[in-house]
Structure 1
Amino acid sequence: MSPAPEAPALPGPALLFCPADRPDRYAKAAARADAVILDLEDAVAPDAKDAARRAVQEAWPGLDPDRTVLRVNPRQSPWWEEDAAAAARLGVRWVMLPKAEDPAAVRALAPARVIALCETAAGVLAAPALAAEPGCAALTWGAEDLMADLGGAGSRRSRDGAPHDVVLHARSSVLLAAAAHRTAAIDTVFLDIADLEGLAAESAEAAESGFTAKMCIHPGHAGPIRAAFRPSEEELRWARGVTAAAAEAGSGVFRFEGRMIDAPLLGQARAILRRAGE
């Protein structure tokens, strides 16, 4: 099998889901976010799968392929083969693979770049193998599907609303697997549509931890995600100063604003500049 072709950078940081059976919303979703995820899976009822796939195929010539992700149905589902065939026929560049567990499914979607969605226990444990696939562009994860797979009652504790430890473990596992294989990590959706303060806090923590983007289910969440992923002016000032001082120092440890800067801190400064597109 030939390797995936060169592709543009993964769009982000705000990736907005849109039901694939609602073509009237495609353009609106794309206008609000950095990329739109046309969802053939959870957002579409079983009896509407074929119609949703046809809607995507009819609309595809008018969509921006660099900013459109197609979420197909899982390989374990009866709609997999037709979804994968449609993605290949249309030349879809970004495909989201739900219930990702087997690296062979990533290879089956070539030459598309695959965002592997780890949302089962097997998927989280397979994250390193998925990220190691040349066709894997990013890893992401899903809390609610994971808890359903575990037999849990919800992703957050009833007593205080904080995520369960196993949810945080899954999130960290996916982030570490992506980083270990030098691929992107995308954070999951924030389900409380009205809680913009909570969304902003979770998005900022995701950006600071190393996630490159965050998915969302409501257009009103795209703006707060973008703002949270954008470094502050103080962060940018520090990062620019550190990288400039590093260039002047040449190599080794150096001093900047009273602090000793070594390779890890220089790496953090460069990560801040990447988040700002510099």
Structure 2
Amino acid sequence: MNRAEVDLPGPALLFCPADRPDRYAKAAERADAVVLDLEDGVAAEHKDRARALLVAGLADLDPDRVVVRVNAPGSPWWDADVAAVREAGVRLVMLPKAERPEDVEALAPARVIALCETAAGVLAAPRLAASPSCAALSWGAEDLMADLGGAASRRADGSYHDVARHARSQVLLAAAAAGRPAVETVHLDLDDLAGLAASSAEAAQVGFSARLCVHPSHVAPIRAAFAPDPAAVEWARGVLEEAERTPSGVFRFRGRMIDEPLLRQARAILRRSRG
């Protein structure tokens, strides 16, 4: 499956606690998709109430722009969450701490964004991406650090430790190999819009298709970062038009050698511009 054929809302996917139905519509309006969160965004004593509120509130939302994050497999709420999203006809589910393809497929007929945020989950990323129920892969640095017994995902200068960068790359590679989109994790510093913009631009450049976010102020920088600039779009159109006129598989365009890998990059730029 080509990643362009996967119907994934984006580029900005905004979390909203499932026990706050008063925020559902606002979050959906401000982002490309709302992630109604039954997991980390809801305290344990409110899980059952949040599930009921979510099911009741889904009728007022566009089902193609709603993702529901359930609780992790093996948690006390897993079975009830699976039953609820299936009964409600949720189309896109986010699976935290994904480690087994069987858990991805347990959510069928919904498609699943599998979060690789444990050591076992990162190592299982290729198998998760290969599941017919998998819509995309994502990852989570903080849960991964907790699973590893680490103290922090980032160095003092703000850059990720090598193990986090490795996990991120592993998830991106596994998604691409299976033809699935990869979704970048959240930027937790709410006021660091410059850092968010820079890291989102880098994520788009290396092949991530969308990004998770936890605050409405992060939506605009993410959208801007994932939208190719006009010069890149103009180059992509020009090089693809030249390829149609040139019978050779390798040709010169504006002083640069062009071959199939660069043509694929050009097609990706145009897909992002249309998105």
Task: Please indicate the TM-score interval, normalised by the length of the shorter structure.
Answer: over 0.9
Is 1:189 the counterpart of 2:177? The answer is: no
Q: Which runs of 4+ in 1 moved over 6 A?
A: none
Tell me the secondary structure at the aligned position of residue 276 of structure 1.
helix
Q: Give the drift of 1:260.
A: 1.3
Match of 1:109 in 2: 107
Is 1:151 the counterpart of 2:149? The answer is: yes
Equivalent residues in 2 for 1:80-119, closer than 5 Å: 80-119=78-117
Match of 1:4 in 2: none
Equivalent residues in 2 for 1:36-47, closer than 5 Å: 36-47=34-45
Aligned residues: 271
The answer as to whether partners of 1:8 and 1:66 remain within 8 angstroms in 2 is: no
Equivalent residues in 2 for 1:4-43, closer than 5 Å: 9-43=7-41
Q: Which amino acid letter does the alignment assign opposite residue 241 of structure 1?
A: G
Q: Give the drift of 1:61.
A: 1.1
Q: Distance in 2 between matches of 1:151 and 1:8?
A: 35
Question: Normalised by the size of structure 1, how large is the TM-score?
Answer: 0.96
Question: Normalised by the size of structure 2, how large is the TM-score?
Answer: 0.97
Equivalent residues in 2 for 1:103-182, closer than 5 Å: 103-158=101-156, 160-182=157-179
Q: Distance in 1 between matches of 2:158 and 2:14?
A: 24
Q: Which amino acid letter does the alignment assign opposite residue 195 of structure 1?
A: D
In structure 2, relative to structure 1, the CA distance for the partners of 1:150 and 1:60 (3 Å cut) is: same
Q: Which deviations, in whole Å up to 9, do the C-alpha atoms of 1:113-146 show, x marking residues without a partner? A: 0000000000000000000001100000000000
In structure 2, relative to structure 1, the CA distance for the partners of 1:101 and 1:8 (3 Å cut) is: closer
Q: Which amino acid letter does the alignment assign opposite residue 17 of structure 2?
A: P
Q: Give the drift of 1:17.
A: 0.3
Match of 1:68 in 2: 66
Q: Distance in 2 between matches of 1:260 and 1:244?
A: 15
Q: Which amino acid letter does the alignment assign opposite residue 258 of structure 1?
A: G
Q: Distance in 2 between matches of 1:251 and 1:100?
A: 45
Is 1:234 the counterpart of 2:216? The answer is: no
Q: Which deviations, in whole Å up to 9, do the C-alpha atoms of 1:205-239 show, x marking residues without a partner? A: 00000000000000000000000000011111111
Match of 1:260 in 2: 257
Q: Give the drift of 1:250.
A: 3.7
Q: Distance in 1 between matches of 2:138 and 2:243?
A: 33
Q: Distance in 2 between matches of 1:61 and 1:29?
A: 15
Q: Distance in 2 between matches of 1:66 and 1:161?
A: 35
Q: Give the drift of 1:251.
A: 4.4
Q: Which amino acid letter does the alignment assign opposite residue 237 of structure 1?
A: E
Q: Distance in 2 between matches of 1:188 and 1:176?
A: 15
Q: Distance in 1 between matches of 2:146 and 2:249?
A: 49
Match of 2:214 in 1: 217
Q: Which deviations, in whole Å up to 9, do the C-alpha atoms of 1:137-162 show, x marking residues without a partner? A: 0000000000000111111113x221
Structure 2 residues not aligned, in runs of 5+: none
Structure 1 residues not aligned, in runs of 5+: 1-6
Q: Which amino acid letter does the alignment assign opposite residue 206 of structure 1?
A: A
C-alpha root-mean-square deviation of aligned residues, in Å?
1.1
Percent identical pairs in the alignment equals 68
Q: Which amino acid letter does the alignment assign opposite residue 150 of structure 1?
A: L
In structure 2, relative to structure 1, the CA distance for the partners of 1:8 and 1:143 (3 Å cut) is: closer
Match of 2:266 in 1: 269
The answer as to whether partners of 1:157 and 1:163 remain within 8 angstroms in 2 is: yes
